[in-house]
Chains A and B, each alone.
Chain A
Amino acid sequence: MTFINYASREINCKIVYYGPGLCGKTTNIQWIFEQANPEKRGKLVSLATETDRTLFFDFLPLDMGTVKGFKVRFHLYTVPGQVFYDASRKLILRGCDGMIFVADSQRQRMEANIESIANLATNLKENGFDIRSIPYVLQLNKRDMPTAAPAEEMERLLRFRNEPMIEAVANQGTGVIETLKACARQILMDLQRS
């Protein structure tokens, strides 16, 4: 749900990073946080366990500049990827404007990727969204791993709506901004159409 404030001339959009446990959702937004101009980024809030696993969510507000005289602000969220945190995952999808699915390229995580997309579809539906129409990007993360499955194979298994598919190595920043940009583009174009 985009929040358009004509009084302060601001547009606020919520983008959620989704995916199986340890796929690199937090790494994506940590990299964005480290690279962003300190004046344009807010605080990175991480609600994590003692072992640095996401417990509830990570949150990063990002000022992007202006479009048509309106300040554009993205609120980036990650969900906890571990299967048993499903109730929390569902809550974080509330009011989201766009989704980024971070898939783990390691062959042994392919089943977890597939399960997580199915879980995303269910949780989006429960929040009143349709996975086939919401702004959505597929990121193939950890492309540098020796056990990474070929991109074509991942595409066949995980891509279902001709969504932008971006290869990434999030801990080195490869593909991170491209992914965010692909999602932002869809959200803003949706705004244009509505």
Chain B
Amino acid sequence: MAKLDLVMFEEEYKLLQEIISRLQVDSSSKVVFLVDKNGQQIAASGDVRSIDATSLASLTAGNVAATDGLAKLIGEKEFTLLFHEGEKDNLHISIVGKRGILVVIFDMNSSLALVRLRVKKASRDLQEIFEKVEQRAQTVAGDSSFESPFSEITDEDIDKLFGD
């Protein structure tokens, strides 16, 4: 089954948030985003209000997907790093594990070398958490005592979403 939902519990979410907050400070960057390869934002740190985070997540995922396609065309498995240099701000995009993308936005207060160095360390830590998330999802899926809050969704709930 291809449809393996990404389920994030509070505990792991806090750990992810801590790692990217630390990365943002250590790399002297403006904003750090962690997004999922399908374009969903998972966590963010820094001056996030200055950026449309939802669009950023979706476009980053599109960018990574297109680059993945290019990699396969030339016989590579994937390109793990994308770097876009702007006049003031730069964008450092890297793949974390199987499903994460780390986006670091930085300006002249940092440098590519510093960002790369800090991202490397943070990526290892993030990957560990992703593995935990996956393990936990599998454990929960096999645990019959776990009651999903969605097991009781009714037609009325869905109608309400559309204002009926």
Contact = CB atoms under 8 A, between A and B. Distances in A.
Contact of A87 (B6, B10, B69, B151): B69
B30 interface: no
B40 interface: yes
Q: Provide the main secondary structure of the chain A interface.
A: mixed
Contact of A72 (B14, B39, B161): B161
Q: Provide the main secondary structure of the chain B interface.
A: mixed
A42 B54 contact: yes
In the complex, which range does the number of interface residues on chain B fall in?
Answer: 35 or more
The winner among B1, B7, B162 for most chain A CB atoms within 10 A is B162
A47 B63 CA distance: 11
Interface in A10-68: 11-12, 14, 42-43, 45, 47, 56-57, 59, 61, 64-65, 67-68
A177 B162 CA distance: 8
Contacts, number: 128
B59 interface: yes
A96 to B, nearest CB: 8
The winner among B8, B14, B37, B66 for most chain A CB atoms within 10 A is B8
A182 B117 CA distance: 48
Interface in B49-66: 52, 54-55, 58-59, 62, 65-66
B83 interface: no
A162 interface: no
A94 B10 contact: no
A4 B7 contact: yes
8 contacts: A3-B8, A4-B6, A6-B8, A6-B10, A56-B62, A88-B69, A129-B3, A185-B158
Interface of A: 1-8, 11-12, 14, 42-43, 45, 47, 56-57, 59, 61, 64-65, 67-70, 72, 75, 87-88, 90-92, 94-95, 97, 127-129, 134, 177, 181, 184-185, 188-189, 191-192, 194
